[in-house]
Chain A
Amino acid sequence: MKKELGIFALLAILCIIISASNPNFLTATNLQNLGRLIGAYGIFSLGLGLVIITGGIELSVGSMMALLGVLLSMMLTELGWPPLLAVTCCIVIAALLELINGLLITRGNMLPFIVTLCGLLLYRGAARFITDDETKGLGADTNFEGLRFLAGGYLFGVPMPFVILLVTGAVLWVVLHRSAYGRYLFATGRNAEAARYAGINTRLVITLAYVACGILTAISAIIFAFYTNSISPASHGNFYELYGIAAAVLGGCSLRGGEGSVVGVLIGTALLQVLRNLVNLLGIPSSLDFAVMGAVILLGVLADQIFKERRNRRQVTQMRESAKSDIAPV
């Protein structure tokens, strides 16, 4: 919990700075917009968090979002499928693609980085090919009102994506921090060999994390599709995987695996979106958008690392035995 506290403090400080310099930050419209974005980005970031806890990585999220977006558009507008069927189809496709990723990683012993990098290229190519590289739309605002509500609607003034994020977050929190599966996930990410010796089916645990990531990505993809209302296959979802990874890392997930929390990823996502908001509201040239984010992530992770090392050093000195390797002449 301490770890989340640090990043939460950073988020709070940023919010105070922005609201002090621009009163527009605290207006209902701005907060609702911010909430919608946090919701949309947060859902798939949680999925990435799960994958990162296994010690893996998922780079194909953005491309998958483009592929699912154009497929959704085609199913709804060109094939005229009922919304429920189209949405289910998207979720199943995403789950299957991630199932394949999971199997390649756990059965084929391939590196997650490579497998999902290939996914990044493949899905993007597929999205562009099936659309002839043409932008797909979802038509007038009156179409598919039910689905549109998920992206643009409100529940008691709270944007729907944010509501969906809170619900998925709550479910995942229970799964990750209270269920046996969650414990197995951390055990596998920490030390897959020891987890296997304890009788955990590590392959299944890892594969399930990827599948869950796929399902969450699909939910995000549907929201984004209706949020933008048009999907350009070449650019839709570009860099989204990096937003997710950044949110997870900011939120305390370790790329070495076995570390992370739902609350951390949520705060990480919020922080990223608040930063983008900051660029807008403080009149920083929008070309610096990414640079600001990069700088803050770097500083955040660096600060975290410094605290961690200080903590470790304290722990190490308390240990009586062990750590012979640190004496090696360098």
Chain B
Amino acid sequence: METNSVPVLEMNGVSKRFPGVVALSDVHLKVYSGEVVALIGENGAGKSTLMKILGGVHSPDAGTIRLEGKDVAIESPRAASELGVEFIHQELSVLDNLDVASNIFLRREPTRWGWLKLVDRKRLYREADALLQKLGLELSSRTLLGDLSLAQQQLVEIARAISAGARILIMDEPTSSLTLSETRRLLEIVKDLRAQGVSIIYISHRLDEVKEIADRAVVLRDGRNAGMLRRDEIDRDPMVRMMVGRDLKEFFVAPTTGDHGDDRKDWLTIRRLRTLRYPGQVVSLDVGRGEVLGMAGLVGAGRSEVARALFGVDEALEADISLGGQPLKITSPRDAIRQGLYLIPEDRRTCGIIVDFSIRENITLPGLDKYASAGLVSPAREAAAAERMCRTINVKAPSTEMQAANLSGGNQQKVVLAKWLALSPKVLVFDEPTRGIDVGAKAEIYALIRQLTSEGVSVIAISSDMEEVLGISDRICVMHEGRITGTLRRSQFSEEAVMRLATGGEAQDVR
């Protein structure tokens, strides 16, 4: 794609230092017109800082930014926008109380009547509809944003960026909360935009997507350029090697036994589970002791609902659950916790941890009684336990008094885990165990799951990451629209088999 000799964007020798941390050190990035450049690296590698400098949020300590050969200083997000740099955030920044057209043209509404600046509603909707059509979106510009799915909202944000005249589009983990088909759609749109000459900087942890879509991949590690891969060089192994600076051969720890039979299937049994979302469907599951049961399916297939019912967050309409032969009655998380059944939720920052609490306070919260005598909590005992847990599972933080908000996603997830490990789990339910977590921490969490199962803990792992679910599970049960469409043994594992069941296709090997 390097047809034009002058790059659209050239960042040279960019350095940024925060108190105590060198976030970026002499980083270079070139992007040509109509090119998709994947920016990859572990969490904390400096991707976001680099993009925030481009987006005008941070100013660099050193280095230059050139747009189409001209030196520019980007002093604010607004200045970035005026220069044609648009940001699609991981967490959407649309207003869900306004309709699609109003979102697209926010701050740029077509107006009439001179200084009165009344919004020209006719033109607003006409232009918005035209834009949506151009992007191939079949929705009315009068729809309220709040009524759209997350994926559609994201597409509206892309439409906004395009209509604002974006020449460079920064997409930060755009597919992290999309279903497979929505991801496909998004990738198609990215390809269309590229064909129209828009340059795209694509940040993603999903290496498959990068492989499919990127013309080049720029890898950052510890705030420096770690390397660059051309289209034909982009592949999982070199990418991972550059990201972590070493080979990750033992990425997934293989199950201790291969294809085991029914003998271990009687530890946790779930019968006749009905959830509020799918009241007409009945779910039955068995998980053996020390087994990892993967749960695959598309987003919205009802897997999280099962997990939430199991943990008592949302009470099940009906359920017969027993653990080790003992029937359980779970109507609240407290009931589940009392039985040693814990959930590591999907939404870490709102459900898994309290971000303003310290690591210590987060870890000890569910079992605070253990650190109290005569009703008074002993911070020293808490700290000792928290430090022990952090060492065991390698939480990287200077002190357990650090606020959880300041940790990387991987370390936050480890804190959630530490919280439950301090209470000797019998069953752990992971809802998306490694979403938004860098490769290194992922490997650690997989190893940890294996270590736990070898100690007899049963694990249910809900995952939308195909590679992950195939890699860590002993068995995979696949859901589609609230019901289990099939369960696969290890010998039956394949991407195709899972996808067939997940899309509601005919099950060839139903339990």
**Which residues of A does B touch, CB under 8 Å?**
174, 178-180, 183-184, 186-187, 190-191, 193-201, 258, 314-315, 317-322, 324-330
* A198-B366 contact in complex given A191-B350, A320-B49, C-beta closer than 8 Å: yes
Contacts between chains A and B (CB distance < 8 A), count: 120
Task: Report yes or no: B351 in contact with A194, Cβ–Cβ below 8 A.
Answer: yes
Task: Report yes or no: B19 in contact with A200, Cβ–Cβ below 8 A.
Answer: no
Q: Which of B20, B48, B55 contacts A318 (CB 8 A)?
A: B20
Q: Which of B55, B313, B334, B375 contacts A179 (CB 8 A)?
A: B375
B25, CB-defined interface residue at 8 Å: no
Q: Select from chain A the residue with minimum beta-carbon distance to B308.
A: A197
* A196-B333 contact in complex given A180-B375, A324-B172, C-beta closer than 8 Å: yes
Residues of A within 8 A of B351 (CB): 193-194, 197
Task: Report yes or no: B377 in contact with A183, Cβ–Cβ below 8 A.
Answer: yes
A322 to B352 CA separation, bound complex (whole angstroms): 16
Task: Report yes or no: A183 in contact with B356, Cβ–Cβ below 8 A.
Answer: no
Task: Report yes or no: A183 in contact with B368, Cβ–Cβ below 8 A.
Answer: yes
B57, CB-defined interface residue at 8 Å: yes
**Which residues of B does A touch, CB under 8 Å?**
18-21, 23, 43-44, 46, 48-49, 52, 55-57, 77-78, 81, 87, 89-91, 93, 107, 172, 311, 313, 332-334, 336-338, 343, 345, 350-357, 361, 365-366, 368-369, 372, 375-377, 405-406, 408-409, 419
A315 to B403 CA separation, bound complex (whole angstroms): 10
Residues of B within 8 A of A200 (CB): 334, 365-366
Nearest CB of B to A204, in Å = 10
Residues of A within 8 A of B21 (CB): 318, 320
Task: Report yes or no: B352 in contact with A194, Cβ–Cβ below 8 A.
Answer: yes
Task: Report yes or no: B89 in contact with A198, Cβ–Cβ below 8 A.
Answer: no
Task: Report yes or no: B77 in contact with A183, Cβ–Cβ below 8 A.
Answer: no
| A191-B350, A317-B19 known, 13 other contacts, Cβ within 8 Å | A179-B375, A184-B368, A187-B357, A190-B357, A191-B355, A193-B350, A194-B352, A199-B337, A200-B365, A315-B406, A318-B19, A320-B46, A325-B93
Query: 5 interchain pairs (CB within 8 A)?
Result: A174-B376, A184-B368, A321-B48, A327-B55, A328-B89
User: Chain B interface mostly helix, strand, loop or mixed?
Assistant: mixed
Residues of A within 8 A of B334 (CB): 199-201
Q: Which of A191, A319, A324 contacts B406 (CB 8 A)?
A: A319
Q: Select from chain B the residue with minimum beta-carbon distance to A203.
A: B332
Task: Report yes or no: A183 in contact with B365, Cβ–Cβ below 8 A.
Answer: yes
* A180-B43 contact in complex given A190-B354, A318-B21, C-beta closer than 8 Å: no
Q: Select from chain A the residue with minimum beta-carbon distance to B355.
A: A191
Residue with the greatest number of chain B CB neighbours at <10 A, chosen from A178, A179, A199: A199
9 A-B pairs with the lowest CB-CB distances in the bound complex, closest first: A328-B93, A199-B337, A180-B368, A198-B366, A198-B365, A199-B334, A324-B89, A191-B354, A199-B366
Nearest CB of A to B55, in Å = 5
Residues of A within 8 A of B46 (CB): 320
A314 to B313 CA separation, bound complex (whole angstroms): 37
Task: Report yes or no: A322 in contact with B93, Cβ–Cβ below 8 A.
Answer: no
Nearest CB of B to A282, in Å = 40
Task: Report yes or no: A196 in contact with B313, Cβ–Cβ below 8 A.
Answer: yes
Residue with the greatest number of chain A CB neighbours at <10 A, chosen from B55, B333, B334: B333
* A190-B356 contact in complex given A197-B345, A325-B89, C-beta closer than 8 Å: yes
Residues of B within 8 A of A196 (CB): 313, 332-333
Residues of B within 8 A of A325 (CB): 89, 91, 93
* A258-B333 contact in complex given A199-B366, A326-B57, A327-B87, C-beta closer than 8 Å: no
Nearest CB of B to A330, in Å = 8
Nearest CB of B to A182, in Å = 8
Nearest CB of A to B290, in Å = 24
